[in-house]
Amino acid sequence: MKRIVMLTGLGALLCHTSCKPSKAEEKEGDSKFFVTNPIRMDTSVTKEYVSQIRSVRNIEIRAQERGYLENILIDEGQFVKKGQLLFKIMPKIYESELAKAQAEAKAAEIELQNTQALSDKNVVSPNELAMAKAKLEKANAEMSLAKVHLAFTEIRSPFDGYIDRLPLKLGSLIDEGELLTTLSDNSEMFVYYNVSEPEYLDYKNSEQNGAKTKVNLLEANNEQFKYPGVVETIESEFNNETGNIAFRAKFPNPNKLLKHGETGKVLMTVPLKNALIIPQKATYEIQDKKYVFVVDKNNVLKSREIAIEAQMPDLFVVKSGVGENDRILLEGVQKVKDNDKITYQFQDPATVITHLRLKAE
């Protein structure tokens, strides 16, 4: 009796095994997949360019005379106005030189007056009068020079801006030309970034009536700067080593958030001619590499690595890996694997992209 039960169970198991469909057949019969082609079209993408942020004016404040630093009237990071007194170098020597020059100028003036009186009476020659006049002019020039040297002991701000680090302390003996601080005008900011030669050519070909291109700035914390800028100028030469050319954009900075020396990323819309586009949902990623499933002539899936040139909302611009005539799996890439055989329904790529864009809007 036990033997009959065992034989009956074995027969049921064999029947269950033999009646179960193969895995490929299961994929083919259980569900229907959607397939499409990559499509070529003219479009535009927003690209990120690593950038360097610079003040519209950033200068070094240096001593113009030698002496002891008598007074520091500002602090690091302080905002200063044009003409504001920043530093004072001990002026005693230059005050004495000015007093001496003033005295010599006064003496030369008196001498000229006496010579003029004698010349009027024909006591002295015209040459002596001319020499007295020249002596006074020389004395006045030396007095003016002494005033300039004295003025150099007071160092004032040449424009509105922010003070940087103060490397010297009160009482320091400074030489002529020594660095005292740096001054930055942050009312507007220059942002420099490098563009490849093909992108430069596309940019120039897409320019309209010389209108300036608007760009945005992504700050180091990945927050977008709230004020857009414009591309103002492009350098005259390409870098032979990198093949890039530098663009310069100007950004308003009313809140003074941006500082000289910051970094960020410029977001610029770049036209792409005859770009190959696929939906993002048709891809999957393994170890930072992107793949799609290509359907062969037998309806079998083959995994293929692709290179991405640019990214748009819901779409990728493909650099290499697939072509226009390849059929790629549109949805369900996580449900299948290499060599699975599927039943599919083809969808027109233009229709697929249109629906993706409508969804994004």
Tokens encoding 226: 């709230």
Residue that has been written with the tokens 């299961």 in this structure: 26
Q: What CATH topology corresponds to 47-56+184-271?
A: Elongation Factor Tu (Ef-tu); domain 3 (2.40.30)
> Helices in 74-165 by DSSP H: which ranges?
92-120, 126-151
Closest to 279 in 3D by CA, of 78, 35, 9, 19: 35
Q: How far is CA 135 from CA 106, 269, 320, in A?
A: 11, 70, 84
Q: Is 322:38 a contact under the CB 8 Å cutoff?
A: yes
Distance CA(273)–CA(43), nearest Å, equals: 7
Kindly give the interhelix angle for 92-120 and 126-151, rounded to the nearest 10 degrees.
160
Q: Is 62:179 a contact under the CB 8 Å cutoff?
A: yes
Residue 275 amino acid letter:
A
Q: What is the CATH number of domain 24-43+274-360?
A: 2.40.420.20
- DSSP classification of residue 280: G
Q: Is 313:360 a contact under the CB 8 Å cutoff?
A: yes
Q: Residue 199: what pLDDT?
A: 85
Beta-carbon neighbour count of residue 325 at 10 Å?
7
Kindly calculate the radius of gyration of the chain based on its CA atoms and give it in whole angstroms. Answer: 40
Q: What is the CATH number of domain 71-182?
A: 1.10.287.470
Which positions of the chain have pLDDT values less than 70?
1-31, 208-210, 357-361
Distance CA(7)–CA(22), nearest Å, equals: 25
Q: Residue 357: what pLDDT?
A: 59
Distance CA(197)–CA(242), nearest Å, equals: 10
**pLDDT > 70 in the chain, percent:** 89
Q: Residue 208: what pLDDT?
A: 65
Instruction: Determine the longest span between alpha carbons in the chain, in angstroms.
Output: 164
Q: Residue 204: what pLDDT?
A: 85
Q: How far is CA 36 from CA 152, 303, 309, 356, in A?
A: 76, 15, 20, 13
Q: Residue 210: what pLDDT?
A: 66
Q: Is 276:310 a contact under the CB 8 Å cutoff?
A: no
Q: Is 94:153 a contact under the CB 8 Å cutoff?
A: yes
**Dihedral in degrees, nearest 10, Cα atoms 85, 89, 95, 96:** 180
Q: Residue 11: what pLDDT?
A: 44
By 3-state DSSP, what share of the chain in percent is helix, strand and coil, each rounded to 5? 30, 40, 30
Element (H, E) at 333: none
- DSSP classification of residue 64: S
Q: Residue 123: what pLDDT?
A: 85
Q: How do the domains of the chain map onto residue ranges?
A: 24-43+274-360, 47-56+184-271, 71-182
